[in-house]
Structure 1
Amino acid sequence: MEKRFTSSDQEENDHINEGFDDMQEANIAHEDEEPKVGMTFISEDEVTTYYKNYARCMSFGISKINSKNADDGKKYFTLACSRARKHTSNSKNLLKPNPTTRTQCKARVSVAVSLDGTITVSRVALEHNHELSPTKSRYFRCNKKLDPHIKRRLELNDKAGINVSRNFRSMVVEANGYDNLTFGEKDCINYIDKVRRLRLGTGDADAIQNYFDRMQRENNQFYYVMDVDDKSHLRNVFWADARSRTAYEYFGEVITFDTTYLTNKYDMPFAPFVGVNHHGQSVLLGCALLSNEDTKTFSWLFTTWLKCMHGRAPNAIITDQDRAMKNAIEVVFPKARHRWCLWHIMKKVPKKLGRLSDYESIKTLLHDVVYDSSSISDFMEKWGNMIACYELHDNEWLKRLFEERHR
């Protein structure tokens, strides 16, 4: 029998989660300093936590806006004011554009990660082009936090039939006002919605366990892991049959991973690993049901899948542009080439460019650039002509795609 869930298995598969928790608790060496060129840190999480704390004191939010790997092996990324970049409205009603707080603010820090892992601040801009609002600091997404005891209280009251609104109002009273809370009612609603996904119906978890047991009795190469939380609630499930494990030995050089499928009444994403065989046919290399789509969950899944495949990592992996997925791949598959799925990108073209007056012409030219370029120089020439011809220099979506074209 290859794999059955035990507490020791859980500890082994959760080691990656503990690593992320440890990084979050890293000591910040420059806690009281203003950002300066030359500052050094021991991890990306440390510099991010430092800049987030600085932003909270100065009353602005932050976000990561750029990340790239250079030809010299170094990595570069930028942490910026959350009002950076230019807003492009996707509203179909010209009289009611989508609201935005983006003002192309230039306040940011640029960070370089050297080959030996040293992290250094390479450029700093402190000036904002908008007013800072100390009273609104707690509303910034990067500052919102639900502590464990708050989560526990929300869960217990939800099970007792107390709705989120009443629950939140009682917390406001206890905290002596909204300003003393690090979260809002919407955050509570989102958390409870997530928790409800994990509450399987009576007998559902047992039915899954019984099914997996039966499959394993029929073939001892059937592999499965059931991930539970500290309350023994089922969170994530992974399984792979003997055919999938054998296929990976022959066709595991390049895989695709996709979570755009939603299945069953729990609205849990179905996440398959897929390869291509010598006939050009898709072959299933394992699959999972996930409770969440964050870095920790993806890290657990990739680590579990890697163990199932005897520790042999793929040479390349193709995914959508999900940032949490990207973070997990960098940790679990550090040597694999990570590329974005072109289908997912091109599917966004109508949404991102559909409001432009020359949309049909731009779409035709973009398809030619993407699908019919015969070389790097050919692509660069066609891309430059498209941008210049239709004056797309300020289009943020196209700019970000070009910056990440190595993916």
Structure 2
Amino acid sequence: MTLLTDNIEHNGKRTPNEEEFCRDVESKFTPYVGQEFLEIEEAVTFYRIYAVACGFDVRKYTTKRWRGGEIKSKLLVCNREGFKHKGQLECSGRQDSGRRHKVRRVGCKARIRLFMRNGELIIDRFHSGHNHELVSARDREFQKLACNITNYHKMIILYNSRMFVDHFKELAVNRPGFFFDYDVDSDGSLSKAIWADGIVRRNYSVFGDAVSFDPMYSTNKYDMAFTSLTGVDHHKRSVTFCGALVAHEDADSFKWVFTRFLAAMGGKEPNYIITDQDAGIPKAVPLVFKIARHRYCMCIS
């Protein structure tokens, strides 16, 4: 446990000569400003895990809403935040053993604030120091909670991948010319997906002589790389022929993308396919393209 000094926030400023206590926690379980969550309960669970590792309890404090009723911000604090009002019974609110436990509030400033911004839930404030000693780390409970949140994240990813698949399946049914296909891993998680609407498929029939494949774009929530196959129109503007997601950037995944791309484009191969030198791509290209010549792009740093 680390003893910090000159580190207490008060009305946005630091108050010197006051002591704070803080315990180092593994980085993947430590909150940080800018961290994103999919929903409130996921963020609350995450902060509770961090609190167990540090040795304090969490209390939900204030929730602010926009005029339409949607949540604007939510504050989570140490259960020793604030001070007891005269005549008020101090309780932690924990009922693990069937009864409420008394706790002495000492004005602790440890907290996180969750803020909804442009549809994204993020931590926009985080204060880690406590003005009271922390209890010893409850390792067993922490490991149990850590396991629970890992499973919770997997459930969220599976839930969102199902919504993604259902949405694109609906588009394929209701929009003429919309192509969609996907594949899953052995555990049922989404591993590959590709889509192209009627407009880009028509564009390919006109401008599909040379195609560039770029697997460089990646996401940070689901560990899936976004890839695209693009070309150039007669105005020298880039045109996208399809988009794809892959969980594994290997030859098998690229082979699947190329195969389904040709299926979407009626089996018509381009004259040239231009790619970077990712190790899996040269293996996949000749397995799918029999006419197209493979060329590497020029990488400029």
TM-score (norm 2): 0.47
The structure that is strand-richer by fraction is 2
* Larger Rg, first or second structure (1 or 2): 2
The structure that is helix-richer by fraction is 1
